[in-house]
């Protein structure tokens, strides 16, 4: 009997677990030049996935600060997408994120390099408080859209979730519950601001998708977009997230982002963050630490 080998195409997520671009760009470029990288399984630490870039079909960079990788982008001979998180919070919530003015200019540079169809802004997450109230968000979102007109076409928003780190910083965040009126005002205002500047706005796998107020019904990375990027169709759907996004391979490590945002889902132990940062070696095949004798390396093929 003829046996058919089913090929599953691969997109790297760099990264949902930490901001590789902001803090570990040198490591990533070193690995790209070397031709492979290793990823430690967060649930089974002795299991290592080795990924060769020849098996990678595209790369999604997720970051709050694209500046450290700007000069190296043209060296990467793979289809590239950027999801850049740009939120209106100040140092009390995002203590180590660069100023929004600097980030706006960096986003424009990314757009010029990769193209307007390969970049999306994440206004993520939205939470309401006395300081960051409804009017604050509406004004901030409108200003962002105006400043990025002609450089961005897609904006993805989400609402804050009840993560461990959120609960720990609850008093600092001062979160207030959303009402149906709040959702309606956000939906109508955001849609108006986006449309006036040639943009679409959407959620992805949110309980409130705001479609009734003009939000686009879409996912973060669809099979259609993956095909446009790569010309390939054999991508899995991301079952672990229960959404319709294309499944990606994350190369990051939890508790290793030095932005220390108070709402972060990937950081929940600041002591561990500092320890992990100390163990980072830009010349290691792993983002944090090094391989040891007990590790079992499995090559992740298509």
Judged against a pLDDT cut of 60, whether residue 2 lies above it is answered with no
> Is 244 a domain residue?
yes
Confidence (pLDDT) at 169: 95
Which DSSP letter does residue 246 get?
A: B
Q: Give the three-class secondary structure for 59.
A: strand
Q: Helices 134-147 and 180-196: crossing angle, nearest 10°? A: 20
Q: Which region holds residue 21: left if phi is over 0, alpha if psi is between -120 and 50, else beta?
A: alpha
pLDDT of residue 23: 98
Q: Do residues 265 and 19 lie in contact, with contact meaning Cβ atoms separated by under 8 Å?
A: no
Q: Is the per-residue pLDDT at 224 higher than 80?
A: yes
Q: Does residue 25 belong to any structural domain of this protein?
A: yes
Total tally of structural domains belonging to the chain = 1
4 pLDDT exceeds 50?
no
Q: pLDDT tens for residues 233-277?
A: 989 887 766 678 899 999 999 999 999 999 999 998 999 999 999
41 lies in some domain: yes
In a domain, 5, yes or no: no
**pLDDT (0 to 100) of residue 1:** 38
The dihedral over CA atoms of 155, 159, 162, 168, expressed in degrees to the nearest 10, equals 80
Res 238: pLDDT: 79
| Coil vs helix vs strand at 259 | coil
In terms of C-beta density within 10 A (0-12 exposed, 13-18 middle, 19 or more buried), how is residue 146 classed?
Answer: exposed
pLDDT > 60? residue 81: yes
pLDDT at position 5 over 60: no
- Percent with pLDDT over 70 in the chain: 96
> Of 141, 160, 151, 140, whose CA–CA distance to 264 is shortest?
160
- Residue at 179 is within a domain: yes
pLDDT of residue 193: 98
- 262 in Cβ contact with 169 (< 8 Å): yes
Distance CA 142, CA 192 (A): 9
Q: Determine the structural domain holding residue 79 and report its residue range.
A: 11-299
Instruction: Supply the pLDDT for residue 301.
Output: 79
Does the pLDDT at position 7 exceed 60? Answer: no
The helix (run of H) or strand (run of E) holding residue 271 is: helix 270-278
Question: Rounded mean pLDDT of 118-124?
Answer: 98
Q: Is 8 helix (H, G, I), strand (E, B) or coil?
A: coil
Does any domain span residue 232? yes
Tokens of 300: 């992740």
Q: At residue 137, does pLDDT exceed 80? A: yes
In the predicted structure, residue 6 carries a pLDDT above the cut 60: no
The secondary element (H helix, E strand) that includes residue 158 is: strand 154-159
Q: Quick one: pLDDT at residue 3? A: 39
- Tell me the pLDDT band of 219, cut-offs 50, 70 and 90: confident
- Please report where in the chains the tokens 């849609």 appear, as a residue: 191
Helix (H) or strand (E) holding 22: helix 20-34
**Residue 4 within a domain:** no
Contact 79, 46 (CB under 8 A): no
pLDDT at 239: 75
Residue 6 lies in a domain: no
Q: Is the dihedral of CA 10, 11, 12, 15 positive or negative?
A: negative
Q: Is 272 helix (H, G, I), strand (E, B) or coil?
A: helix
Q: What is the pLDDT of residue 240?
A: 67
Q: What's the whole-model pTM score?
A: 0.94
Q: Is the peptide bond before 181 cis (omega within 30 degrees of 0)?
A: no
Mean pLDDT of the chain: 94
Q: Please write the tens of the pLDDT for every residue from 164-206.
A: 999 999 999 999 999 999 999 999 999 999 999 999 999 988 8
């Amino acid at each position: 009997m003829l046996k058919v080998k089913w090929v599953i195409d691969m997109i790297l997520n760099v990264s949902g677990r930490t901001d590789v671009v902001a803090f570990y760009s040198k490591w990533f470029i070193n690995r790209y030049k070397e031709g492979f990288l290793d990823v430690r399984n967060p649930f089974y630490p002795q299991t290592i996935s080795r990924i060769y870039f020849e098996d990678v079909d595209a790369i999604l960079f997720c970051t709050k600060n694209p500046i450290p990788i700007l000069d190296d982008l043209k060296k990467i001979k793979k289809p590239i997408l950027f999801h850049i998180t740009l939120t209106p919070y100040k140092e009390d919530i995002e203590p180590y994120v660069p100023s929004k003015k600097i980030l706006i200019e960096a986003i424009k540079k990314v757009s010029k390099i990769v193209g307007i169809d390969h970049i999306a802004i994440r206004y993520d997450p939205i939470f309401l408080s006395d300081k960051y109230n409804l009017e604050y968000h509406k004004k901030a979102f409108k200003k962002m859209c105006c400043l990025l007109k002609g450089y961005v076409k897609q904006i993805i928003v989400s609402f804050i979730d009840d993560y461990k780190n959120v609960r720990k910083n609850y008093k600092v965040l001062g979160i207030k519950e959303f009402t149906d009126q709040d959702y309606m005002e956000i939906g109508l205002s955001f849609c108006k601001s986006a449309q006036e500047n040639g943009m679409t706005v959407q959620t992805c796998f949110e309980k409130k998708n705001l479609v009734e107020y003009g939000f686009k019904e879409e996912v973060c990375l669809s099979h259609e977009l993956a095909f446009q990027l790569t010309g390939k169709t054999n991508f899995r759907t991301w079952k672990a997230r229960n959404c319709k996004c294309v499944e990606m391979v994350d190369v990051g490590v939890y508790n290793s982002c030095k932005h220390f945002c108070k709402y972060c889902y990937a950081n929940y132990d600041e002591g561990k963050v500092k320890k992990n940062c100390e163990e980072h070696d830009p010349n290691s095949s792993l983002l944090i630490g090094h391989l040891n004798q007990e590790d079992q390396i499995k090559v992740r093929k298509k």
